[in-house]
Amino acid sequence: MQLCRDKTVLLGVSGGIAAYRSCELARLLVKDGARVQVVMTEAAAELVGPLTFQALTGRPVEVGRGGKLAASGMTHIDLGRDSQLIIIAPATGNTLAKLAHGLADNLLTSSVLASTCPVLLAPAMNTRMWKNELTRRNMKILSSLKRFQVVGPASGQLACGEEGTGRMSEPAELFQASRCLLGPGSLSGRRLLVTAGPTHEPIDPVRVIANRSSGKMGYALARAARRRGARVCLISGPTSLTAPWDVELVAVETAAQMARQVSRRLAGSDVLIMTAAVADYAPSRPARKKLKKAGKNLTIELQPTTDILAAAGKRKHRPLLVGFAAETGSPLGEARRKLADKNLDMIVANDVGQAGSGFGSDDNQVHILGRGQDRVDSLPLLPKQEVAEQILDRVERLLPGRRTSSRKRG
Ligand SMILES: Cc1cc2nc3c(=O)[nH]c(=O)nc-3n(C[C@H](O)[C@H](O)[C@H](O)COP(=O)(O)O)c2cc1C
């Protein structure tokens, strides 16, 4: 569905090194049917030629205070007023500071001041600029205003060669956030609970029993569901991943903590997707102090943890339940057993022993089994983000007509 069709979007580009990445964002918006008017600050026009944006959008680009606009009889007030969405990508420390204080000294900042539509901000700058107390204060002001949605910045290698937070979010992520702001998605009005990552079960204050789950599959699902307009709560074990835009992140460590957080939110959710690799066993009595090396065998007693999905499946009123079965070797037998025993609606099975698929990898080759169906949907090896879309397509087919979170189950 082209959510941007016939929508007018003002794409503001300020003078960050990431300005060139906004060309891709302009392309995605145009492809999705938006009328895109680009406004660049003078600093941005020194980094990327306005002609590039003009070629991508098919419209003359305004730079600085705007000149072409005045020639057509429009004023600085019209541009923002006629837009359904303003995106500022990249948003420099300088432009963010101006917006936070209501300054309007160029066409971009005056368009924001003279409009009421949502504004999507994609900050991008050197880590020290981002962490600076002044930028912190400016972001606090902007984040407190309902009109402004902030996406990113992400962490990683910055253009200046340093590592840290300050990288502009991916154009695809900004595009999806724009779609959410422009129109209702296919999961709009639904609440999804997604679990992700491993759990850490303490042996002593410094050691844990963990597993190799990276959390990528769960984060991809949370991102995809949010893009489709759902309210998403992501309950995550320890990972190195950044929470997707506008997803509520609940960070947990142990299986018991995850079980508690899921149980607390189950009644208000339409769907629970359990991608987390929850420990099946945890040390019965974690040591209070670090265990010393004694040079002889050590026995640690383990006790089973709560089976979160099975507990959810036993509830009288329960959301749609989607489980994951990560097995080494053919996972189908175990997946069928879990689907029936835990009273699930769908299960996604994969062979984590397969090279390039499953834990830690960016790709996954999965089989999807539905309740009461003999058929198995075996997907090819796909990026996890694409697997997430495929799973959500099937979740959506099961959802229509189902009442939010209060259905009686047999
Ligand atoms: C090559 C180059 C790259 C820059 N990259 C950034 C950046 O990524 N983020 C930022 O906040 N400022 C960056 N700056 C500084 C801004 O361009 C400068 O603060 C400018 O005044 C911003 O003006 P504007 O907000 O009106 O675009 C960069 C400057 C240069 C010369």
Active site residues: 160
- pLDDT, tens only, 366-401: 999 999 888 899 999 988 888 998 999 999 999 966
Q: Taking Cα atoms as reference points, which of 334, 340, 365 lies closest to residue 352?
A: 365
Query: Is the minimum distance from the CB of 41 to ligand 1 under 6 angstroms?
Result: yes
Which pLDDT score, from 0 to 100, does residue 405 have? 40
Distance (Å, whole) CA 70 – CA 76: 8
Query: Is the minimum distance from the CB of 287 to ligand 1 under 6 angstroms?
Result: no
Cα(129) to centroid of ligand 1, in Å?
A: 11
Protein residue whose Cα sits closest to atom 5 of ligand 1: 16
Residues near 134 by beta carbon (within 8 Å), at least 6 away in sequence:
97
Distance (Å, whole) CA 283 – CA 184: 46
Domain segments of the chain: what residues?
A: 8-182, 191-288+295-398
Query: Is the minimum distance from the CB of 218 to ligand 1 under 6 angstroms?
Result: no
**pLDDT above 90 covers what percent of the chain?**
67
DSSP state of 306: P
Looking at the DSSP bridge assignments, the partners of residue 125 are: none
Query: Is the minimum distance from the CB of 123 to ligand 1 under 6 angstroms?
Result: no
Query: Is the minimum distance from the CB of 158 to ligand 1 under 6 angstroms?
Result: no
Cα(153) to centroid of ligand 1, in Å?
A: 15
Contact 341, 310 (CB under 8 A): yes
Query: Is the minimum distance from the CB of 110 to ligand 1 under 6 angstroms?
Result: no
The residue type found at 377 is D
Protein residue whose Cα sits closest to atom 8 of ligand 1: 16
Cα(91) to centroid of ligand 1, in Å?
A: 9
Retrieve residue 187's tokens: 């999961």
Which pLDDT score, from 0 to 100, does residue 403 have? 42
Cα(99) to centroid of ligand 1, in Å?
A: 15
Query: Is the minimum distance from the CB of 129 to ligand 1 under 6 angstroms?
Result: yes
| Most ligand 1 atoms within 8 A of CB, residue of 92, 106, 167, 168 to mutate | 92
Cα(158) to centroid of ligand 1, in Å?
A: 14
Distance (Å, whole) CA 210 – CA 277: 9
**pLDDT above 70 covers what percent of the chain?**
94
| Most ligand 1 atoms within 8 A of CB, residue of 11, 17, 95 to mutate | 17
Query: Is the minimum distance from the CB of 258 to ligand 1 under 6 angstroms?
Result: no
The pTM assigned to this predicted structure is: 0.66
State which residues of the chain have pLDDT below 50: 402-410
Which pLDDT score, from 0 to 100, does residue 409 have? 35
Ligand 1 nearest-atom number relative to CA 92: 11
Which pLDDT score, from 0 to 100, does residue 146 have? 78
Q: Which CATH superfamily includes the segment(s) 8-182?
A: Flavin prenyltransferase-like (3.40.50.1950)
Q: Do domains 8-182 and 191-288+295-398 have the same CATH topology?
A: yes
Residues near 127 by beta carbon (within 8 Å), at least 6 away in sequence:
158, 162, 163, 164, 165, 166
Query: Is the minimum distance from the CB of 44 to ligand 1 under 6 angstroms?
Result: yes
Which pLDDT score, from 0 to 100, does residue 161 have? 79
CATH 3.30.1460.30 fits 191-288+295-398, yes or no: no
Task: For the beta carbon of residue 392, count every other beta carbon within 10 angstroms.
Answer: 23
Retrieve residue 13's tokens: 């580009």
Which pLDDT score, from 0 to 100, does residue 259 have? 98
Which pLDDT score, from 0 to 100, does residue 182 have? 87
Which pLDDT score, from 0 to 100, does residue 86 have? 96
Residues near 207 by beta carbon (within 8 Å), at least 6 away in sequence:
290, 291
Ligand 1 nearest-atom number relative to CA 168: 8
